[in-house]
């Protein structure tokens, strides 16, 4: 077996922002640009802002706890959740019961229709077949074979 020739498929060219299509493409760069590290002062500022924001949110939550009875609020929320879930379960059970009754009613109708058609066929076949069916003749003993 001979080795396969190299592929002639050109690499996919994606447009770069800021590069005009009118001028020829510049050769690819060999290395990546290094991003500048944020200064330590910037890190310190961001850290102080995060701590201040967290402390402000906690202080607001503490004031909220003093203003409202949070234990009562939580207990009411849990009670409402349980009541809602019990109502959902009751509704689902009622729906299953309704579907069961509907399926049983359809089954009863199908059985009635099927039974009536069988009875009609049996009665109609017996009445029509009694007068038109010829009597069976005994077989001739000489024809057995």
Final residue before a domain boundary, out of 26, 47, 68: 68
Tell whether 87 and 122 lie within a shared domain: yes
Question: What number is the average pLDDT over the span 121-136?
Answer: 72
Reference 61, options 49, 73, 45, 48; nearest CA is 73
pLDDT tens per residue, range 84-101? 999 999 999 999 999 999
Tell whether 54 and 91 lie within a shared domain: no
Write down the H helix ranges in 7-69. 40-67
Whether pLDDT at 81 is above 80: yes
Tell whether 54 and 75 lie within a shared domain: no
pLDDT at 124: 86
Question: Considering the entire predicted model, what is its pTM?
Answer: 0.40
Final residue before a domain boundary, out of 16, 51, 68: 68
Asked if residue 140 is part of any domain, the answer here is: no
Tell whether 95 and 124 lie within a shared domain: yes
Domain that holds residue 109: 71-131
Q: Report CA 32 to chain centroid distance, whole Å.
A: 44
Question: What number is the average pLDDT over the span 40-65?
Answer: 91
- Output Rg (C-alpha) for the chain, integer angstroms: 45
Tell whether 87 and 114 lie within a shared domain: yes
Q: Cα separation of 71 and 49, whole Å?
A: 31
Whether pLDDT at 108 is above 90: yes
pLDDT tens per residue, range 15-34? 777 655 555 555 555 556 77
* Count of the separate structural domains present in the chain: 2
Q: Cα separation of 137 and 131, whole Å?
A: 16
Asked if residue 88 is part of any domain, the answer here is: yes
């Amino acid at each position: 077996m001979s080795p396969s020739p190299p592929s002639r498929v050109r690499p996919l060219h994606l447009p770069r922002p800021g590069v005009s299509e009118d001028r020829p493409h510049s050769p690819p760069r060999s290395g990546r640009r290094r991003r500048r590290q944020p200064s330590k002062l910037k890190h310190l500022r961001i850290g102080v802002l995060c701590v201040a924001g967290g402390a402000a949110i906690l202080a607001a939550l503490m004031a909220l706890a003093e203003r409202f009875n949070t234990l009562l609020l939580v207990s009411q929320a849990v009670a409402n959740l349980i009541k809602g879930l019990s109502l959902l379960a009751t509704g689902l059970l009622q729906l299953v019961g309704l579907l069961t009754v509907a399926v049983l009613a359809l089954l009863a109708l199908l059985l009635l229709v099927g039974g009536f058609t069988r009875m009609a066929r049996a009665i109609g076949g017996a009445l029509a077949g009694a007068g038109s069916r010829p009597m069976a003749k005994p077989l001739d003993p000489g024809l057995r074979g």
